[in-house]
Amino acid sequence: MTKAAKIFAVLAALECFGIMVLEMFYWEKAGMNVDPALSAEFLTQTVSMAANQGLYNGFLGLGIIVGMIGRNKVLMLFSIFCVILAAIYGAYSLDIAIIFKQGIIPIIAFFLNLTAKEKRKSNSTLHFK
């Protein structure tokens, strides 16, 4: 995995964790800043729904990090792909800007990691110069 691939994967995970914190702990406070059309009453009524969504975002970020630490490329790519799908659905159902706000970093991370060549494991034979 190249340095750029690692950096973008970590950035995608951090994005997930940031959204998790926003949705789980600051929904009522930050909601109006995210969308001024949302009323305080609506934000209060949707606190548990937002916390649930935030938890899912945290799991996606964790999947990326665990995939990187465990060198499980499939888990990491799957988690990043799920983030991309969420951004696409958000762009389709809410606002096209979501694909740019939440999808660009994961898209770059996905393709950089997909095309990154793995280091070959050396076999147990000794090589002398």
The whole-angstrom separation of Cα 87 and Cα 106 is 9
The answer to whether the beta carbons of residues 73 and 66 sit under 8 Å apart is no
Say what the pTM is: 0.84
Determine contact, residues 28/44, Cβ cutoff 8 Å. yes
Give the whole-angstrom CA distance, residue 92 versus residue 83. Answer: 14
Name the pLDDT band for 12 (thresholds 50, 70, 90).
Answer: very high
Q: What is the pLDDT of residues 48-104, one digit of tens each?
A: 999 999 999 999 999 999 999 999 999 999 999 999 999 999 999 988 999 999 999
How many angstroms separate the Cα of 74 from the Cα of each of 68, 94, 114? Answer: 10, 29, 9
Cβ atoms 57, 49 nearer than 8 A: no
Give mean pLDDT, residues 112-116: 94
Three-point CA angle 68, 71, 76, nearest 5°: 50
Mean pLDDT in residue range 33-42: 82
